[in-house]
Amino acid sequence: MDSYGILSLIPPLLAIGLAWWTKNVLISLFIGIFSGAFILNDYNILAAFLRTLDKYILNSMADSWNASILILILALGGMVGIITKSGGIKSLSEYIAKKAKSVQKTQFAVWLLGVAIFYDDYSNTLIVGNTMRPLTDKFNISREKLAYITDTTAAAVVSIFPISTWLAYEVGLIKDAFNNIGIEGSAYLTFIKSIPFRFYSIFALFLVLVIVLSKKEFGPMYDAEVRARTTGKVIRDDATPLASKELTEMEVSKDSNMTFIEAFIPIFVLIIVTFIGLWLDGGGASGVGFVEAFGQADVGAVLLWASFGSGIVAAILAFFRGGMNADQVMDSWVDGAKAMVTACFLLVLAWGIGAITNELGTAEYVINLATGNIPPFIIPAIVFILGGFIAFTTGSSWGSMAILMPLAIPLAHSLGAPMVPSIAAVLTGSIFGDHSSPLSDTTIMSSMASASDHMDHVKTQLPYALFGAGLALIFGFIPAGLGISAYILLPIGLIVMYLLFNKFGKNIENDI
């Protein structure tokens, strides 16, 4: 693959810049893809337009993994539509509201649920956002805040948990890079050793907790929370939430007798089927270990089984307990799926621009700019920044890991830089870029599940992501490069995080 040099930065930066300026992400992404196709097709406008449609957009939908994610989103939207119409979401929210009787406790419940669903980031995002949205709306918590908590906890917790759908991928990248340069050692053990050095992921998770407990905010999130608490407007007046009114304003069936326990059953089925499906599909029944099976399974297929299975259970409950007939059940499923269409289009375009950046060699160009004579101790910090920038411009944390890991491990090995912190920097730097990018699929899905305006979500989350990244650099990767233990750096970083946020954050209650 040839690199187009500085021209390779045009599509992602153009898409991101236009998205910030126009707040219309769909058009911005399309123009970004078109600009890349224009470069790749020798500046032929007609060819660029045709290839934008038939190669980059259509092929993104044709990819089996991407297609399974689109169907998964529609199916989960349908399931949520059924339990919303049948009164299940209302009953579940009312029950949680009895336990979480304040804004602070409600936000803590969102964080706790996000941490609890540690096995898959997509399931995490869709369950947390859709389940907790009615409750956060009730307490006038902004949709931006819900999207932030949902987005931050999802990838951060899944990426560092030793049993998750990310495990085989991350361990596989380490193993391949080790084999390529002849390093002997356990890739899985190296993965485990890298967990304490995932400074950004750990700081990001605890930053949410600090924000919730301190009742403080800063930047655009402060303005969003003041707006929501003082006016009751959980989204701004001109916002375009990714979940449409078919779902967010769906009326509950008047004959519903659904209890909160019954409302949770489809979600429970989703979780259980996912766990069992990952184990079976990964060869667990044939004697493969649980961890290995969990990592080897076809995640896309398993999530499809789980989403349709939970939808069927929701339909049965709605028919017998939700006061709905078969036509109403089907209509509510369709309305729920319709609410996800905009987000599906957004994902397709995000994948399209990812294909463009890959063909243009964007990541390789960025890496080449950063290489040179550099001291070994700074390698983990540089790798972290590179991972963040690649994920930011491509919208893919996995893509960033795949590009950077085969380069970071040999670089650290040849220069004598600390290996484990360098590996951790790849894995958590990609999460930072993913959290910051409007092109990221999980960022888009968080906006969708939380029914937030996508660019409002990105704008309010970015300062917190940068804050966590700054702490990860100064109190994490730079001193870790000098050989300081993560077990010393983590508590220092967390204490500094609390002190800084407590000093510079503004208390919401002062302005409401």
Q: What is the pLDDT of residues 80-129, one digit of tens each?
A: 788 878 877 667 767 776 777 788 889 998 998 888 877 667 767 877 88
Query: What mean pLDDT is reported for the chain?
Result: 84
Count of other CB atoms within 10 angstroms of residue 363: 25
Choice among 89-103, 463-477, 488-502 with the minimum mean pLDDT: 89-103
**Average pLDDT value for residue range 450-465:** 93
| Residues near 419 by beta carbon (within 8 Å), at least 6 away in sequence | 190, 409, 412, 413
- The pLDDT assigned to 3 comes to 64
In this structure, what are the phi and psi dihedrals at residue 163, rounded to the nearest 5 degrees?
A: -135, 105
Q: Read off the pLDDT of residues 248-271 as tens digits, 9 standing for 90 and up.
A: 555 666 666 777 788 778 878 887
3-class secondary structure, 496: helix
Alpha helices in 86-142 (DSSP H): 88-99, 103-116, 121-138
**Average pLDDT value for residue range 16-37:** 82
> Residue 163 above 70 pLDDT?
no
Count of other CB atoms within 10 angstroms of residue 487: 8
> Residue 283 above 60 pLDDT?
yes
Q: Read off the pLDDT of residues 144-161 as tens digits, 9 standing for 90 and up.
A: 999 999 999 988 888 888
**For the whole model, what pTM was predicted?**
0.74
Give ∠ CA 43-45-51 in degrees, rounded to 5. 95
> Residue 496 above 80 pLDDT?
yes
Region of residue 483 (left: phi > 0; alpha: psi -120 to 50; beta: else): left
Give ∠ CA 392-452-329 in degrees, rounded to 5. 120
In the block, tokens 């050095």 appear at: 197
| Residues pairing with 216 in the sheet | 507
Q: How many domains does the chain have?
A: 1
- The pLDDT assigned to 131 comes to 79
Predicted confidence band of residue 489 (pLDDT cuts 50, 70, 90): very high
* Burial letters 68-100, b for 16+ CB under 10 A, else e: bbbbbbbbbbbbbbbbbbbbbbbbbbebbbeeb
Q: How far apart are the first and last CA of the chain?
A: 56
- The pLDDT assigned to 418 comes to 92
Predicted confidence band of residue 372 (pLDDT cuts 50, 70, 90): low
> Residue 353 above 90 pLDDT?
no
C-alpha dihedral sign at 196, 438, 352, 118: positive
In the block, tokens 């999130």 appear at: 221
Q: Please report the DSSP string for 178-229 in residue order.
A: HHHHT--S-HHHHHHHHGGG-HHHHHHHHHHHHHHHHTEE-THHHHHHHHHH
Q: Is residue 6 part of a domain?
A: no
3-class secondary structure, 506: strand
> Residue 332 above 80 pLDDT?
yes
> Residue 30 above 80 pLDDT?
yes
3-class secondary structure, 322: coil
Q: Read off the pLDDT of residues 194-225 as tens digits, 9 standing for 90 and up.
A: 999 999 999 999 999 999 988 899 999 999 99
**Average pLDDT value for residue range 377-403:** 85
Count of other CB atoms within 10 angstroms of residue 145: 27
Q: Which of 5-14, 61-70, 121-130, 225-234 has the highest mean pLDDT?
A: 225-234
- 308: tokens are 């349709």
- The pLDDT assigned to 250 comes to 56
Q: Is residue 17 part of a domain?
A: no
- The pLDDT assigned to 484 comes to 95
> Residue 314 above 60 pLDDT?
yes
- Higher-pLDDT residue of 362 and 440 is 440
3-class secondary structure, 453: strand
> Residue 378 above 60 pLDDT?
yes
Q: Is residue 503 part of a domain?
A: yes
Count of other CB atoms within 10 angstroms of residue 121: 28
Amino acid at 37: A
- The pLDDT assigned to 416 comes to 84
- Domain containing 498 equals 102-236+344-512
Closest CA to 151 of 399, 461, 385, 408: 461
| Residues pairing with 453 in the sheet | 241
In the block, tokens 């700081």 appear at: 203
Alpha helices in 377-418 (DSSP H): 379-394, 397-415
Closest CA to 318 of 80, 74, 75: 80
Q: Read off the pLDDT of residues 380-392 as tens digits, 9 standing for 90 and up.
A: 999 999 889 888 8
- The pLDDT assigned to 39 comes to 93
- The pLDDT assigned to 245 comes to 56
- 149: tokens are 């908590």
| Residues above pLDDT 70, as percent of the chain | 90
- What does the alpha-carbon distance between residue 103 and residue 96 come to, in Å, rounded to a whole number? 12
**Average pLDDT value for residue range 359-363:** 79
Assign 3-class secondary structure to 219-283: CHHHHHHHHHHHHCCCCCCCCCECCCHHHHCCCCCCCCCCCHHHHHHHHHHHHHHHHHHHHHHCC
Q: What stretch of H or E contains 358? A: helix 341-360
| Residues above pLDDT 90, as percent of the chain | 30
Q: Is residue 272 part of a domain?
A: no
